[in-house]
Chains A and B, each alone.
Chain A
């Protein structure tokens, strides 16, 4: 059997198998034309189709992170420089610990920011944030020297007061003894 013969047979087969197509099919397809066909903008654009299935919890986390990003971009100064990861951690902490702990951590995070700011300004400042128990009213969270030669102290419960050098030494000793 030659190549021509087989090609002739294929041609015959094509005709025989060209069965009629249901007339309504074209209408069925046309009815599915999207009402809003999106025009192609040009050669520089690409189409990204994402079929993403995520859990409700993940979706909630994504929404929260998006909100934080928006807040950062729209200029909420309280969250400035905290960093996305840190802020997300705070939110997760907030939900896991009923909100309490996260608030404390958040305050500490703000305090840390304040500490870094003072440090940059060349102030005589010490920060104990990592060593004290959150919310401890007797523990010194941060101390820095004022222009009058006194010391401004911020405690673990975020209360603050200005003390003399002697009073500061006394407070520090008490803090060490307690430890």
Chain B
């Protein structure tokens, strides 16, 4: 009978350097974009992404299973971003504009560009806890359970935060829309 290959988590725990590299290949883009969407500039996001993986290797013993790998990395990223934000309250606002101003190539063919830019702005204005769940669940495509693990809270709390966040975003966009129509 063929032996089942060891899971990535198991290989990481046994100090396999190839597994460490595999972890990077699998998740570095996701983590980078998540940090970027949290409002950090390109360079700061790259630095933080590196730190996330470095911390992951150092604390690999805390990882319970393969299933938990993705939310665990996001948890590290969330904590790293939070710490960084505390250190210097968004001195990267200029770089942030690269993402918000809609001048990059990806924005060119967008139909409802104005609305999306407004939505982006409203997400940034959300309280941190609500912003986190929107980013993790809708933009990073984590399940409710994974989102709950990533921010160390219950699934019920995540659902309620998502609901509150959507309500707030809807309300803000409607207000903006009404103003435009006037």
Question: Does chain A bind chain B?
Answer: yes
Flag whether A175 is at the interface (Cβ < 8 A). Answer: no
Query: Which positions 9-41 of chain A face chain B at CB distance < 8 Å?
Result: 9-19, 21-22, 25-26, 28-30, 32-34, 36-40
Measured between beta carbons, the chain B residues less than 8 angstroms from A3 are: 166, 170
Query: A100 → chain B, closest Cβ, in Å?
Result: 49
List B residues at the A interface (Cβ < 8 Å).
13-17, 20-21, 24-25, 28-29, 32-33, 36-37, 42, 46, 49-50, 53-54, 57-62, 99, 104, 106-107, 110, 112, 115-116, 119-120, 123, 134, 138-139, 141, 166, 169-170, 173-174, 177
Q: A19-B36, A40-B61 are in contact. Are A26 and B28 (CB under 8 A)?
A: yes
B53/A32 in contact, CB under 8 A: yes
B62/A21 in contact, CB under 8 A: no
B32/A21 in contact, CB under 8 A: yes
A121 to B110, CA, bound (A): 97
Flag whether A50 is at the interface (Cβ < 8 A). Answer: no
Interface residue from B13, B106, B169 paired with A40 (Cβ < 8 Å): B13
Report, nearest first, the 9 A-B pairs whose CB atoms are least far apart: A37-B15, A39-B15, A40-B13, A40-B61, A10-B138, A14-B139, A33-B20, A21-B29, A47-B61
A13/B46 in contact, CB under 8 A: no
B28/A29 in contact, CB under 8 A: yes
Most buried by B among A7, A17, A18, A47: A17
A11 to B106, CA, bound (A): 14
Q: A10-B134, A16-B107, A25-B28 are in contact. Are A32 and B54 (CB under 8 A)?
A: yes
